[in-house]
Structure 1
Amino acid sequence: MTADLPIDTSGLPGPLIADLVEQAQCAGAGRLALVGGAVRDLMLHQVHGDPWRDLPDLDLVLESSCVAFLHDFRQRLGSERVSEMHLHEQFGTAEATVDGVLLDLACARTETYPAPGENPQVVEGTIEQDLARRDFTVNAMALVLRREGSQQLLDPHRGREHLAKRQLAFLHKASVTDDPTRILRGARYGARLGFRLAPEALAQIQSTLTRWPWAWRVGDPLDAVPPALGTRLRMELELLLDREPWREALRLLQQWSAMPLLDGQLQQDLRLSRRLVQGVRLGLPALAVLVAAAADPLSLASRLQIPHQQQIWLGELIACRDWLDREVSLEAWTGWDAFDWTQRLEQQRWSPEAVALAVLDNTSFRRPLLRWWGRWRHVTSPVSARELMAQGMRPGPALGAALRREREQVLRQMR
Structure 2
Amino acid sequence: MSFQKKDLTVITTHINADFDAMASMLAAHKLYPASLVVFPGSHEKNLRNFFIQSMVYLFNMADIRDVDFSDIKRLVLVDTRQPGRIGKFSSLLEKTDVEIHIYDHHPPADNDIMGHYEIIRPTGATVSILTEIIRKEEITVSSDEATILCLGIYEDTGSFTFPSTTEKDFMAAAFLLSKGAKLDIISNLIARELSLEQVGILNDMIQAAIRYNINGVEIVMTTITTENYVPDFAFLVHKIIKMENMSVILALARMGNKIYIVARSKTPDVDVGAILSPLGGGGHAYAASATIKEKALAQTEHELLEILRKKVKSSKRAKDLMSSPPIKVRPHVSCREARTLLTRYNINALLVMENIEGKDHILGYITRQVIEKALYHKLDAVPIREYMMAKLGTVRPDSELPEIQRKIIDNKQRLLPVVNKEMVIGIITRTDLLNMLVQESQYTNQNEPDPFNDPLHARTRNVTRFMRERLSKDMINILRNIGKVASELECGAYVVGGFVRDLFLYRANEDMDIVIEGDGIAFAKKYAAMLNARIHAHAKFGTAVIIFPHGFKIDVASARMEYYRFPADLPTVEMSSIKLDLFRRDFTINTLAIQLNPDKFGTLIDFFSAQKDIKEKAIRVLHNLSFVEDPTRIFRAIRFEQRFGFSIGKLTSRLIKNAVKMDFFKQLSGRRVFTELRLILQEENPTPAIKRLDDYDLLQVIHPSITPNQKLISLFNAVKKVLSWHDLLFLEESYMKWVVYFLAITRYCNEKISRDICEKLELAPRHSVIFCKERFEADKRLFWLKQNSPLTNSSIYRNLFSFRIELILYMMATTKQEKVKKSISQYVTQLRHVRTSLAGRDLKKMGIEPGPIYREILEAVLDAKLNGLLKTRNDELIFARNYVL
Q: Could you state the TM-score of these two structures normalised by the residue count of structure 1?
A: 0.71
Partner of 2:706: 265
Change (3 A) 1:288 1:307: farther
- Aligned mates of 1:150, 1:274 — CA distance in 2: 48
Q: Does the Cα contact within 8 Å between 2:670 and 2:762 map onto a contact in 1? A: no
- Aligned mates of 1:154, 1:174 — CA distance in 2: 24
Give secondary structure in 1 for the equivalent of 2:640. Answer: helix
Partner of 2:621: 170
Partner of 1:312: 769
Shift of 1:169: 0.9
**Is the radius of gyration larger for structure 1 or structure 2?**
2
Residue type at the aligned position of 2:814: D
Q: Does the Cα contact within 8 Å between 1:184 and 1:253 map onto a contact in 2? A: no
Give secondary structure in 2 for the equivalent of 1:278. Answer: helix
Partner of 2:463: 8
Is 1:83 matched with 2:533?
Answer: yes
- Aligned mates of 2:797, 2:459 — CA distance in 1: 74
- Aligned mates of 1:96, 1:406 — CA distance in 2: 51
Residue type at the aligned position of 2:811: A
Greater strand percent: which structure? 2
Specify every segment of 5 or more residues in structure 1 that has no aligned partner in the other structure, as ranges. Answer: 45-49, 217-223
Change (3 A) 1:384 1:202: same
Shift of 1:85: 3.4
Change (3 A) 1:102 1:386: closer
Shift of 1:357: 3.1
Residue type at the aligned position of 2:627: V
- Aligned mates of 1:99, 1:324 — CA distance in 2: 45
Q: Does the Cα contact within 8 Å between 1:67 and 1:94 map onto a contact in 2? A: yes
**Among candidates 493, 496, 500, match of residue 35 of structure 1:** 496
Residue type at the aligned position of 1:92: G
Shift of 1:108: 1.6
Shift of 1:162: 1.0
Change (3 A) 1:335 1:93: closer
Partner of 2:739: 288
**Structure with more relative contact order (C-alpha pairs < 8 Å, separation 6 or more):** 1
Shift of 1:9: 1.7
What CA deviation, in whole Å up to 9, does each residue of 1:233-282 have, x standing for no partner? 36634xx62xx5x21x4323423536614456363321213214415655
Residue type at the aligned position of 2:679: E
**Among candidates 549, 554, 564, match of residue 113 of structure 1:** 564
Partner of 2:687: 250
Give secondary structure in 2 for the equivalent of 1:163. Answer: helix
Shift of 1:371: 6.8
Q: Does the Cα contact within 8 Å between 2:484 and 2:598 map onto a contact in 1? A: yes
Residue type at the aligned position of 2:489: A
Is 1:225 matched with 2:631?
Answer: no
Q: Does the Cα contact within 8 Å between 2:483 and 2:601 map onto a contact in 1? A: no
What CA deviation, in whole Å up to 9, does each residue of 1:112-131 have, x standing for no partner? 23444442222222222211
Shift of 1:292: 0.8
Residue type at the aligned position of 1:27: L
Identity level (%): 20
Q: Does the Cα contact within 8 Å between 1:342 and 1:377 map onto a contact in 2? A: no
> Where in structure 2 are the equivalents of 1:4-403 lying within 5 Å?
5-10=460-465, 11=467, 17=479, 19-29=481-491, 31-42=492-503, 44=504, 51=506, 53-73=507-527, 79=530, 81=531, 83-96=533-546, 102-145=553-596, 147-149=598-600, 154-209=605-660, 211-215=662-666, 225-230=669-674, 232-233=675-676, 236-237=679-680, 241=682, 244=683, 246-247=684-685, 249-257=686-694, 260=699, 261-262=701-702, 265=706, 267-268=708-709, 269-270=712-713, 271-279=715-723, 281=725, 284-295=735-746, 296=749, 297-304=754-761, 308-314=765-771, 315-321=773-779, 333-334=787-788, 337-338=791-792, 345=799, 350-351=802-803, 353=805, 354=807, 356-362=809-815, 366-367=820-821, 370=824, 373-374=827-828, 394-397=849-852, 400-401=855-856
What CA deviation, in whole Å up to 9, does each residue of 1:133-159 have, x standing for no partner? 111101123344555438765433332
- Aligned mates of 2:459, 2:707 — CA distance in 1: 47
- Aligned mates of 2:768, 2:463 — CA distance in 1: 49
Partner of 1:220: none
Residue type at the aligned position of 2:739: A
Change (3 A) 1:126 1:380: closer
Shift of 1:175: 2.7
Give secondary structure in 2 for the equivalent of 1:215. Answer: helix
Give secondary structure in 1 for the equivalent of 2:612. Answer: helix
What CA deviation, in whole Å up to 9, does each residue of 1:285-335 have, x standing for no partner? 21211121123445444555556444433312213435766xx59xx9357
Give secondary structure in 2 for the equivalent of 1:6. Answer: strand
Shift of 1:90: 2.4
Residue type at the aligned position of 1:71: K
Give secondary structure in 2 for the equivalent of 1:267. Answer: coil
What CA deviation, in whole Å up to 9, does each residue of 1:23-56 have, x standing for no partner? 4454344x443321344345x3xxxxx54x4551
Change (3 A) 1:116 1:363: farther
Aligned pair count? 382
Shift of 1:63: 2.8
Give secondary structure in 2 for the equivalent of 1:91. Answer: coil
- Aligned mates of 2:535, 2:867 — CA distance in 1: 60
Change (3 A) 1:379 1:17: closer
Greater helix percent: which structure? 1
- Aligned mates of 2:522, 2:497 — CA distance in 1: 22
Q: Does the Cα contact within 8 Å between 1:88 and 1:94 map onto a contact in 2? A: yes
Q: Does the Cα contact within 8 Å between 2:560 and 2:576 map onto a contact in 1? A: yes
Shift of 1:62: 2.5
Residue type at the aligned position of 2:541: F
Specify every segment of 5 or more residues in structure 2 that has no aligned partner in the other structure, as ranges. Answer: 1-455, 469-474, 727-732, 870-885
What CA deviation, in whole Å up to 9, does each residue of 1:60-85 have, x standing for no partner? 322321112333455xxx63x45343
Change (3 A) 1:234 1:118: farther
Q: Does the Cα contact within 8 Å between 2:560 and 2:580 map onto a contact in 1? A: yes
- Aligned mates of 2:813, 2:825 — CA distance in 1: 13
Q: Does the Cα contact within 8 Å between 2:716 and 2:741 map onto a contact in 1? A: yes
Q: Could you state the TM-score of these two structures normalised by the residue count of structure 2?
A: 0.37
Change (3 A) 1:115 1:287: farther
Give secondary structure in 1 for the equivalent of 2:679. Answer: helix
Shift of 1:104: 2.5
